[in-house]
Amino acid sequence: GDSVTQMEGPVTLSEEAFLTINCTYTATGYPSLFWYVQYPGEGLQLLLKATKADDKGSNKGFEATYRKETTSFHLEKGSVQVSDSAVYFCALGPNTGNQFYFGTGTSLTVIP
Amino acid sequence: NAGVTQTPKFQVLKTGQSMTLQCAQDMNHEYMSWYRQDPGMGLRLIHYSVGAGITDQGEVPNGYNVSRSTTEDFPLRLLSAAPSQTSVYFCASSRDRGGATTDTQYFGPGTRLTVL
């Protein structure tokens, strides 16, 4: 069945460091891919998405490219800030069924 | 436009008690869903609905019931609470019937439930 595998955390970086969080997926067909972010004490909110192969989603300095050949959707940011400290979830949109699939989440802490 | 609202924010139950977690959205979304979030497990789908009067089971439905009598509301019922149901519960909605693959999900703030 469809699934998402996400890099385990926690990840701790210094401010202005480069961030990569790996995400790979298993799915038949052509689902959309998402990154959601969860700030402490809050629900998840959409960070970015890509709806087809080779699409690049971007928002707030974060980017991810839908790579069908490697079934990946890695999240990157060139220079992280303390305010980026949160939990990041990779997700797969409904494909042949009606379910969204989420990874286990990666906790990021950015220290000054 | 309040988005997705959930009540209560926190709840403590004793084993065997029942309760209902409330979820409402004011965006006229067709698709609604309930997830539980546990450490190291990510989000797991409990139940979902593709429109009023239609519900279906997700990955972990045992011990939970849902109904969808209106487009706006999607309550989650715990029939007889167990310590294994201690978790954070999130309700989410998205626009299209059937949860179209391109749709963004909008999440509520969550309910933190402890079962003693």
Q: Which of A100, A101, A102, A104 to mutate to test the interface with B (most CBs of B within 10 A)?
A: A100
B43 close contact with A: CB closer than 8 A: yes
**B105 to chain A: which residues are within 8 Å by CB?**
36, 44, 46, 91, 100
Single-letter code of the amino acid located at A36 = Y
**Interface check A28 vs B, CB under 8 A:** no
More confident residue, B1 or A53: A53
Any chain A CB within 8 A of the CB of B89?
no
Report H helices in chain B.
none
Rounded to a whole number, what is the distance in Å from the CA of B36 to chain A's nearest CA? 11
- Residue identified by tokens 């954070």 is B88
The per-residue DSSP string of A77-111 comes to ESS--GGG-EEEEEEE--SSSS--EE---EEEEEE
Give A48's contacts (C-beta < 8 A, 6+ positions apart): A34, A35, A57, A58, A59, A62, A63, A64
pLDDT recorded at residue A33? 93
- Whether the Cβ atoms of residue A18 and residue A78 lie closer than 8 Å to each other: yes
More confident residue, B91 or B100: B91
Using a CB-CB cut-off of 8 Å, the residues of chain B touching A102 are: 35, 42-43
> How do residues B57-78 score in pLDDT, each as one tens digit?
999 999 999 999 999 999 999 9
User: Tell me, what's the pLDDT at A98?
Assistant: 78
- Residue B108, pLDDT > 70, answer yes
Closest residue to A98, CB basis, from B42, B43, B98 = B98
Amino acid at site A33: L
